[in-house]
Amino acid sequence: MSFRERFQRFMYGRYGLTAGVDGFSRFLLIASFVVLILSAFVRIGIPQAGYVMYAIALFLIGFSYFRFFSKNLSARTKENYKYYEILNMIKGFFTKSQAGAGYKLFRCPGCGKKVRVPKNKGKIEITCRNCHTTFIRFTGIRK
């Protein structure tokens, strides 16, 4: 039996074979390398802090390998899902103000849904996509 066949048999049913390197593992590896590089610079000034950072980097690398070789697929998938939830929440916090910069939000008087319309178009007639109620609102004067 060749090494490749033995490795394939060993990896059968493990998270790394089914999912590959997912987003959370990629984040762990990148974070570990950043902490590892920073630890080299910190170790020059404060040796104890550099060693602690080095240990944290090794822990992050070890945890990403643990996830790769794990047979508990549902737990690793949940971890990755939670990572993307947090990542999207952080991205949403920073992009919320930029995404709505050219638009104004109004509530539909019929159903209460938010309707997004362009800013500075003056007085416009808005039709709700949900309940097809028509109403007029002022969005600002375009100069």
pTM: 0.61
Single-letter residue type at 52? V
User: What tokens does 109 get?
Assistant: 């008087």
32-75 per-position pLDDT tens digit: 999 999 998 888 888 888 899 999 999 999 999 999 989 998 99
The residues spanned by each domain of the chain are 3-97, 103-138
pLDDT digits (tens, 9 = 90+) for 79-135: 999 999 999 988 877 775 555 578 888 999 989 899 999 888 888 999 999 999 999
CA distances to 74, 76, 105, 108, 114 from 130, rounded to whole Å, are 37, 39, 15, 9, 10
Whether 22 shows a pLDDT value over 70: the answer reads yes
Q: Quote the pLDDT of residue 107.
A: 92
- For residues 112 and 128, the answer to whether their CB atoms sit within 8 Å is no
Q: What is the pLDDT of residue 85?
A: 94
